[in-house]
Chains A and B, each alone.
Chain A
């Protein structure tokens, strides 16, 4: 606020940019070196990085749309799990993958509406509201789950014509299954909507200062409802990704904490879509590398320690960066109309 604070903030920003630039150049050199020495493995790891990051990006987008409007969504895990289950069932009973994806999206959106009902209308504690969704999803999916259901298959990669033939970049970006493509588009779309449209401005206003937004005639409740519902739908896509694109079937508790890791990704990405994408790529890279190392059998480390990696990384990221991230001011607080 004070003038003295401005140069300090700016210099810190420059500092971060320089570090980011150095980091980016190092990553690029690493990739090129890897590609020259071992093109097959490098391409496989990087392509896997993008796919591993997909549910995390979607989860983080869900979280940030909600939090930008002032609602914490700790129920992403449950929204993903329930959507994964319903999308799987839809695939089993209709055999139509497109319908199954839509079912996943709709399931997430319904749970988003439930979260909005709890946190906006009932003014429940938002973290408890999300926890209700997590337990409910775990219970309902386990209760209704039957073993032995099979599907026609899962979604296959669609190569984008000549683009897919570009060395290195082609197989990574232009030869993916549909939800992975959709995720890349969503990152850009959410960025545009959030920062360049009236809706985005209103969302951010409601998340920062709801009473001021209310004074100028913005309907705080409506904005929060719609954001949390759309966010839930995006988390639902992440669930659909798991059953329809990654695994091809449903398993109990198959989300495995991804919904929570997505929240760390959101915070690490400083509540911006592109930031979240970058952060998710880092997590995706850790997972891809871990899988690759396990396959190659090059490591003497017990698999349990390799399995801890994404969770340890989440803690390190939270401990190292959360203090430096600016959180939307009104997040977590139910709005009381005066």
Chain B
């Protein structure tokens, strides 16, 4: 008897915890969709038709579902990159640049080497691409640690630099034969396969999310990163090397974003070409905050945004709504999930303790 009531109490307790952490994001998404519907009405479109076409394009067929997973893959990694940096008290808006660098370097390893077996070539290209992202992420980390240059601006500047740099590489040293500015196609042994309609790269992203959670909450490094993020002065007095931790946090964050680019190259596009996955940096911010910076929560958050992206062309086709409405809805999600005062006022859920993200300390 007692065990039964215990388990019942456990379930209701667990539901309560789930509701507390998931209520704000859920309500935020609903509010964002409502405001998005109003904007659609203003622009003269039918919101119901638009949203149902969106859902059909994201989940209607097995192919559509596969595309949702494919779109969600770099989003999971981009969201993880932002969420991970948040835990260390850093705001990495440079996911875009780190992704581009990871993508083009993975492509270079993919087309540059010939004759390796799949079991070596694919993981090698994935790892080197991710490491390139790590190096590119470590730059703003080092700038922050040693000069105090704020990572929000330096990462954005490095995004623009990465766009120019990859554009140059795809037009110059790594250019394919012919007139199109792109790298040659990667070797078959470097490609990440699909399993029916399901891209295998998606599972890599899920594993990365689990590994990020483990790193943050079950290792010493993760503890130090979170301590620096919570209070860097306290961390310093506790004997943690703050500069080193900042650089490491940004490097791991860049690694995750770079991995997103590498998977996109090796599993989806098959080469690097300019105009590749633009805007991921901002998507990553929305996803990380929608997940309340929890690495596991990043998976459903990225699936939601990925579904919207996958369905947007169907929506444009069926309901004649420009796909950019997706960006507007994402901005609204970000607003409502961050302005949780509004949401909590509507649904009356108290905030959890210790889950607040504080970033804007100052520029110093």
For residue B149, CB closer than 8 A to chain A, the reply is yes
Q: Which of B288-323 contact A (CB under 8 A)?
A: 289, 322
Q: Which of A308-338 contact B (CB under 8 A)?
A: 308, 311-312, 314-315, 318-320, 322-323, 325, 327, 331-333
CB distance from B277 to the nearest CB of A (A): 15
Q: Is the Cβ of B327 less than 8 Å from the Cβ of A135?
A: yes
Interface-forming stretch among B101-109, B121-129, B159-167? B159-167
Contact partner of B286 (CB less than 8 A), chosen from A74, A135, A142, is A135
CB distance from A287 to the nearest CB of B (A): 13
As a 0/1 sequence over residues 262 to 293 of chain A, the CB contacts with chain B under 8 angstroms (1 = contact) are: 01100100000000000000000000000000
CB distance from B291 to the nearest CB of A (A): 14
Contacts of B130 on A, CB cut-off 8 Å?
none
CA distance A55 to B73 in the complex (A): 38
Contacts of B31 on A, CB cut-off 8 Å?
none
Q: Is the Cβ of A136 less than 8 Å from the Cβ of B328?
A: yes
Nearest chain-B residue to A133 (Cβ)?
A: B331
For residue B349, CB closer than 8 A to chain A, the reply is no
Contact partner of A128 (CB less than 8 A), chosen from B322, B341, B359, B361, is B359
Interface-forming stretch among B51-59, B150-158, B197-205, B216-224? B150-158
CA distance A293 to B328 in the complex (A): 39
Q: Which of A168-221 contact B (CB under 8 A)?
A: none
Interface-forming stretch among A34-42, A118-126, A226-234? A118-126
Q: Is the Cβ of B339 less than 8 Å from the Cβ of A122?
A: yes
For residue B342, CB closer than 8 A to chain A, the reply is yes
Query: Quick one: given A125-B359, A135-B286, are A319 and B339 in contact (CB under 8 Å)?
Result: no
CA distance A186 to B143 in the complex (A): 33
CB distance from B173 to the nearest CB of A (A): 10
Query: Quick one: given A122-B341, A140-B328, A304-B168, are A127 and B335 in contact (CB under 8 Å)?
Result: no
Contact partner of B341 (CB less than 8 A), chosen from A123, A138, A320, is A123
Contacts of A260 on B, CB cut-off 8 Å?
153, 156-157
For residue A129, CB closer than 8 A to chain B, the reply is yes
Contacts of B154 on A, CB cut-off 8 Å?
314-315, 318-319
Q: Is the Cβ of B153 less than 8 Å from the Cβ of A308?
A: no
Q: Is the Cβ of B341 less than 8 Å from the Cβ of A132?
A: no
Query: Quick one: given A124-B338, A327-B364, A331-B362, are A311 and B150 in contact (CB under 8 Å)?
Result: no
Q: Which of B152-192 contact A (CB under 8 A)?
A: 152-154, 156-158, 160-161, 164-165, 167-168, 171-172
Number of residues in A with C-beta < 8 Å to the partner?
48
Q: Is the Cβ of B43 less than 8 Å from the Cβ of A143?
A: yes
Contacts of A118 on B, CB cut-off 8 Å?
335, 338-339
Contacts of A138 on B, CB cut-off 8 Å?
279, 282, 327, 331
Q: Is the Cβ of A263 less than 8 Å from the Cβ of B331?
A: no
For residue A307, CB closer than 8 A to chain B, the reply is yes
Q: Is the Cβ of A322 less than 8 Å from the Cβ of B149?
A: yes
Q: Is the Cβ of A320 less than 8 Å from the Cβ of B334?
A: no
CB distance from B204 to the nearest CB of A (A): 27
CA distance A319 to B141 in the complex (A): 12
Contacts of B167 on A, CB cut-off 8 Å?
304
For residue A295, CB closer than 8 A to chain B, the reply is no
Q: Is the Cβ of B91 less than 8 Å from the Cβ of A127?
A: yes
Q: Beyond A132-B331, A132-B335, A138-B279, list 12 extra A-B contacts (CB 8 Å).
A: A118-B335, A127-B152, A140-B39, A140-B328, A257-B157, A260-B153, A260-B157, A264-B157, A315-B149, A319-B149, A323-B147, A332-B362
Residues of B near any A CB (own CB < 8 A): 39, 43, 91, 93, 143, 147-150, 152-154, 156-158, 160-161, 164-165, 167-168, 171-172, 279, 282, 285-286, 289, 322, 324-332, 334-335, 338-339, 341-342, 357-364
> Which 6 A/B pairs are nearest by Cβ-Cβ distance?
A139-B327, A332-B360, A318-B149, A139-B328, A136-B331, A135-B331
Interface CB pairs A-B, < 8 A, 19: A72-B360, A118-B339, A126-B360, A128-B289, A128-B359, A132-B338, A139-B326, A139-B329, A143-B322, A256-B160, A307-B164, A311-B158, A311-B161, A319-B147, A322-B147, A322-B148, A322-B363, A331-B362, A332-B362
